[in-house]
Structure formats: C-alpha cells, structure tokens
Amino acid sequence: MGIGEGGGGRVIGWILAVVLVLTSPIGYAQAGPKRLSDWLLERPLLTDDYPLGLSWRVRGEVVSQAEKRLSLLKSLSGADPEVTADPEVVRRASKVIFPGQGAAGQTMQALRDAGLVDVLRNLKVPFLGICIGMQILFERSEEGDTLCLGVVPGILKRFSSSQLKIPQIGWNVVKFSGDSPLLRGIPNESYFYFVHSYAASLVGASTLGVSFYGQPFTSILQKDNFYGVQFHPEKSGDVGLQLLRNFIAL
C-alpha cells in the first residue's frame, strides 16, 4: 500500500512507485507526502478525520497490514518503498503499482487532490492496478456515478444477484482468456482472493482473465502498458506472489 520509491543505490537502475491516496483510512486532506510516509513506515501516525470513524484497534491493524505489504514488495523487488503522493515520483518511476480497496468516488477525488489523475492516465511505464486500482482504469463506475481514468472502455456495475452475498469475499477461480507475461508460471484456473461489490464486464482482447460470480466479469486485464487485477495478489498465496514477481520483471 502507499506510494513507494526505491531510488539511487537502493534499487539498481529503476524506481518502484506504489500509489495510495485515500483508498485506506488516512486523512489525506491533512496528511501530506511526508506524513503519509511517517504513517506507513516510521511510526503509527493515526488521524481522526476519516469519515468511517475507525477504532484505534482497527487502525493499528491497518498499519500492520500496510507494513506487511511494503515488506512483501521490498522482498520481491529489492526496492525500499517510501510512501509518497508526489506526482514527480510517479513520473520518474519505471513501474507503478496502485493497490488498495475503497470507494471509486473517494479514490478519484483523492487522485484529483493529489494532482495524479493526468499523471496516471498518461503513464508509459508498466502500471498495475489492484482491486480499486484496476476499477479506476475504466471509464466510469456506478458506485457514486464516478468518472474514472478512462484508460479502458467500460462501466463498473454492482453485482445484481439476489442469491449471492455482496460483496464477494473469498476465493474464486480465474480462467485465462489471453496470454501475457503477467501470467507466466501461473496455472490456468488458479484461485485468487477477492473482496469487491462492483465488477466490469468482459472488454474484448483487454480481458486476460475471467471469473464468475452470478455473472462473468473481468478479473485480469491488460491494455498497452496498463495491467489490472480485481483480486488481491498479496492475499492469494503462491500464485499471487508469482503475479507480482511477473509484473516487477516486466
């Protein structure tokens, strides 16, 4: 989670930027780049202005999860992630990961506030969107009738089945419908871990993976240098780690 930079001698020849704005419980309006870094990496700087009113116990768990994910990315990439919301860091990056979970409208507003919308939209380096990070690649989400980045055509719609629990929480199979270096070494019809209420329909050749939850939906996509996964690879065991390795190796 967060924006991580590994530059200079810490990463050989490239920067890994991992973007997080307001997709997890931090008061972004009062937490600038330095405080975001403090919050995730140096000490648990917890703010009181997040509208969901998380308890201190839950906030502590969020800090722990963030630290674990940063440690995972560090071990996979050799990077030493540093959380930042600086558009210049993202522009300089050799690869960009946008993970997280949250509401589409809240996420897009935070990206606008950070000056990151056009930066992300115009990236020429490999980009991986995870969960909400994939959803914002589409044109629009029905969640709050939110305009997104518009990199991929399509609209995110809420699952409509009356016989299934919404959100989908748990393991689901992904059937590959295309070939990509992102999928190297991962068996077709592997199981990944999902947490979401909105999903995108199939988008032609851009859909690399299809899952089913009352209806088929895009669970992996690629358009040019933009990749997205609806599931959480960091929670998906060996196949999730392999997917992250594949992206870092692009």
**Can you give the residue range of the structural domain that contains 106?**
16-248
Q: Give the pLDDT confidence score for residue 13 in this predicted structure.
A: 39
Q: Could you tell me if 143 and 155 are in contact, meaning their C-beta atoms sit under 8 angstroms apart?
A: no
Q: Give the pLDDT confidence score for residue 161 in this predicted structure.
A: 80
Q: Give the pLDDT confidence score for residue 191 in this predicted structure.
A: 97
In a domain, 203, yes or no: yes
The residue count for the chain: 250
Catalytic one of 5, 82, 143, 234: 234
Report the number of distinct structural domains present in the chain: 1
> Which residues of the chain register pLDDT less than 70?
1-70, 77-85, 101
Q: Give the pLDDT confidence score for residue 220 in this predicted structure.
A: 98
Q: Give the pLDDT confidence score for residue 67 in this predicted structure.
A: 64
Q: CATH no. for residue 199?
A: 3.40.50.880
Q: Give the pLDDT confidence score for residue 117 in this predicted structure.
A: 93
Q: Over the stretch 109-126, which tens digit does the pLDDT of each residue have?
A: 888 888 889 999 999 989
Q: Tokens 């989670």 — which residue?
A: 1
In a domain, 115, yes or no: yes
Contacts 24+ apart (CB under 8 A), 161-167: 161/213, 161/214, 161/215, 163/214, 164/213, 164/214, 166/197, 167/195, 167/196, 167/197
Rg value, the chain, Cα: 17
What is the distance between the alpha carbons of residues 214 and 191, in angstroms, rounded to a whole number? 17
Q: Give the pLDDT confidence score for residue 81 in this predicted structure.
A: 56
In a domain, 107, yes or no: yes
In a domain, 201, yes or no: yes
In a domain, 142, yes or no: yes
Q: Give the pLDDT confidence score for residue 43 in this predicted structure.
A: 28
In a domain, 6, yes or no: no
Pairing, β 95-98 against β 207-212: unpaired
Q: Give the pLDDT confidence score for residue 64 in this predicted structure.
A: 59
Q: Give the pLDDT confidence score for residue 172 in this predicted structure.
A: 97
In a domain, 1, yes or no: no
Cα 16 to its chain centre, rounded Å, is 14
Catalytic one of 5, 148, 196, 232: 232
Q: Over the stretch 183-219, which tens digit does the pLDDT of each residue have?
A: 999 999 999 999 999 999 999 999 999 999 999 999 9
Catalytic one of 82, 131, 143, 196: 131
In a domain, 76, yes or no: yes
Q: Give the pLDDT confidence score for residue 135 in this predicted structure.
A: 95
Is-catalytic flag, 196? no
